[in-house]
Amino acid sequence: MLCEECGKNPATIHYTQVQNGVATQMHLCAACMAKRQKGSDTMSSLISSLLSGIAGQQEEREQQDQLRCPSCGMAYKRFRETGLLGCADCYKAFADQLAPILGRIHGRRQHVGHVPPALRARVSAEQELERLRREMDEAVAREEFEQAAKLRDQIRALTAKQEPAGAMAKEGETQHE
Amino acid sequence: MSERMADDVVLSSRVRLARNYKDIPFPSMMNDVWASETIRRTSDAVATLPDAAGYSFVRLANLSKIQRQEMVERHIISRDLLRSADVAAVLLGRENTVSIMVNEEDHIRLQVLLPGAEVEQAAQIAREVDDALETRVDYAFDDQLGYLTACPTNTGSGMRASQMLHLPALTMQHQMGAVGQAVDKLGLTIRGLYGEGSEAGGDLYQISNQVTLGRTEAELAQAVRETGNQLADMERRARKMLLVKDRAGLEDRLMRSVGVMLYARRLGEKEFMQRWSDVRLAGSLGLVQVDVQALDQLLHSAQNGSISCRAGREMNAQERDEVRAQYVRTALGAH
């Protein structure tokens, strides 16, 4: 997905903006995100140098501290001090920082427990897809190509059924890597 | 045998689920308007439960300090809820076994507390209530990370399952360090009676799951139950060992505590906890006839907050210790 503001760069920041009780989905690239924030120049240079990964560790940490969740406005620094996130969108805003932390705490990265009733159909379909993909890979490895082709067709049929929701989920996934 | 004997070690089981509304900042970042909104949504959702009539709604702001303290002692609310007392509320249902705390660290902390080794039953009830509420509200949920919580340590299932264990013999034999390491290896944690950072008064410990992401609720509850059973068996073996090593010495120590609990005229809270542990062990070993349920009841009802709450006023320490001593005597059937 491309940035909604410039339409050039890929959108890497996804968040929900709540204004007067109305929620709007926003999809922006890092540069446009930075422009939206106060002191846009410093922010964009901070973010770009962060992304390029050339900053030293201390510097990087200071820059991380400056990161803000666009939804609730909380700075990453506050999370580092309190251990508490400000809202659901902080998980997206600080996805890169949180991924290793979540890994250290839980050792696993994929939720397998209870799913909200409204999402159950979609999430269980995704789990089914995952199973089929694994089986297809195994079939290929065993050189059972006829079986693999059957599985591929099943995957295609399932994905076609799921198209809109599936595409959305893929977008979200990249956020947590 | 484990089943029948369970209550000699496992006092209670608890499951709590952390949930947050999708479109409202988490409690640490929200203002009073949002805080009222989470309370309104939660009480509205609870009002649609089939057993809604059995729920009572309490705003912490409307309670006195001692009333709040009393609820913490009964484990109906958490100590952390007191920190946000101005904007916090709790909904109590199913004869106080279900408590839905609003505006603690997360918007909602749904807790189920049952006596004995019933962690899976507690998880089942929590799931029922959670499911029923969730048909009415939208929680913050991510396909990969599960339920999103204020602290990343709760992300995923948002579930903390725990059991409260009475481990006097393991404590006396200085084995709690080794127990702690073993529990840690199984992905669980062990701590003192009132949660994180508290000392283990009364030789009471709480085991709970450490991780919440990437495990199903059933796996978490099972791990806690199995670990609880193992520790209970270790504790029973340790009790037998103590009897073999020095039966008279152990009996002497425990029966002195029985004497204090039955006849003392002033009992401080700390001493009460120590004596309580001895009396419970004496009861389990059959040295005295004691109503274990009444004794477990005392665990919260004889603490400072509960005593002041019944008296309806703040008391000085000496007065409180006298009331406690009398209360304990009466509860244990002495004069």
Query: Between the CA of residue A126 and those of A28, A86, A122, A129, B304, what are the distances in Å?
Result: 26, 29, 6, 5, 53
Could A113 and B157 be called an inter-chain contact, meaning their C-beta atoms sit closer than 8 Å?
Answer: yes
pLDDT at B198: 47
Report the residue count for chain B.
335
Residue A118 confidence (pLDDT): 82
Measure B200 CA to nearest chain A CA, in Å: 25
Least Cα distance to B31 among A72, A111, A153 occurs for A72
Q: Which residues of B touch A109 (CB under 8 A)?
A: 144, 213-214
> What does the domain layout of chain A look like in residue ranges?
51-106, 117-176
Give the type of residue at B287.
L
To the nearest whole angstrom, how far is the Cα of A109 from the nearest Cα of chain B? 6
What string of H, E and C letters represents the secondary structure of chain B? CHHHHHHHCEEEEEEEEEECECCCCCHHHCCHHHHHHHHHHHHHHHHCCCCHHHCEEEEHHHCCHHHHHHHHHCCCCCHHHHHCHHHCEEEEECCCCEEEEECCCCCEEEEEEEECCCHHHHHHHHHHHHHHHHCCCCECEECCCEECCCCHHHCECCEEEEEEEECHHHHHCCCHHHHHHHHHHCCEEEEECCCCCCCCHHHEEEEEECCCCCCCHHHHHHHHHHHHHHHHHHHHHHHHHHHHHHHHHHHHHHHHHHHHHHHCCCCCHHHHHHHHHHHHHHHHCCCCCCCHHHHHHHHHHCCHHHHHHHHCCCCCHHHHHHHHHHHHHHHCCCC
**How would you write the pLDDT of chain A (177 residues) with one tens digit per residue?**
667 777 767 666 666 665 555 666 677 777 777 666 644 445 545 555 555 555 466 777 788 888 999 999 999 999 998 999 999 999 999 999 999 999 988 988 888 888 988 888 777 777 677 778 888 988 999 999 999 999 999 888 888 876 654 444 443 333 333
* Cα distances (angstroms) measured from residue A30 to each of A3, A5, A11, A168: 9, 11, 7, 20
Contacts of B107 in chain A (CB under 8 A): none
pLDDT at A86: 96
pTM: 0.77
**Mutation site, A111, A123, A126, A127, interface B, largest B CB count within 10 A:** A111
Q: Nearest to residue B138, comparing CAs of B108, B115, B181, B114?
A: B108
Other CB atoms within 10 Å distance of the CB of residue B202: 22
pLDDT of residue A140: 92
- Residue B193's pLDDT is what? 65
Pick the residue of A84, A119, A129 with the most B CBs within 10 A to test the interface with B by mutation.
A84
Interface predicted TM-score of the whole assembly (ipTM), two decimals = 0.85
Cβ distance A87 to B24 less than 8 Å, yes or no, reads yes
Contacts of B108 (CB under 8 A, 6+ apart): B17, B18, B19, B20, B38, B42, B100, B101, B102
Nearest-CA distance A118 → chain B (Å): 8
At B133, which amino acid appears?
L
* Chain B residues lying within 8 Å of A107, measured CB to CB: 211, 214
Task: Give contacts of B188 with chain A, Cβ < 8 Å.
Answer: none
Q: What residues in chain A have their Cβ under 8 A from chain B's Cβ atoms? A: 16, 18, 23, 71-74, 82-88, 91, 98, 101-102, 105-119, 123, 126, 169, 172-173, 176
Beta-carbon-side half-sphere exposure of residue A76 (alpha carbons within 13 Å): 18
The separation between CA A32 and the C-alpha centre of its own chain, rounded to angstroms, equals 18
State whether CATH 4.10.860 applies to domain A117-176.
Answer: yes
Spans in chain B with pLDDT lower than 70: 1-6, 193-200, 334-335
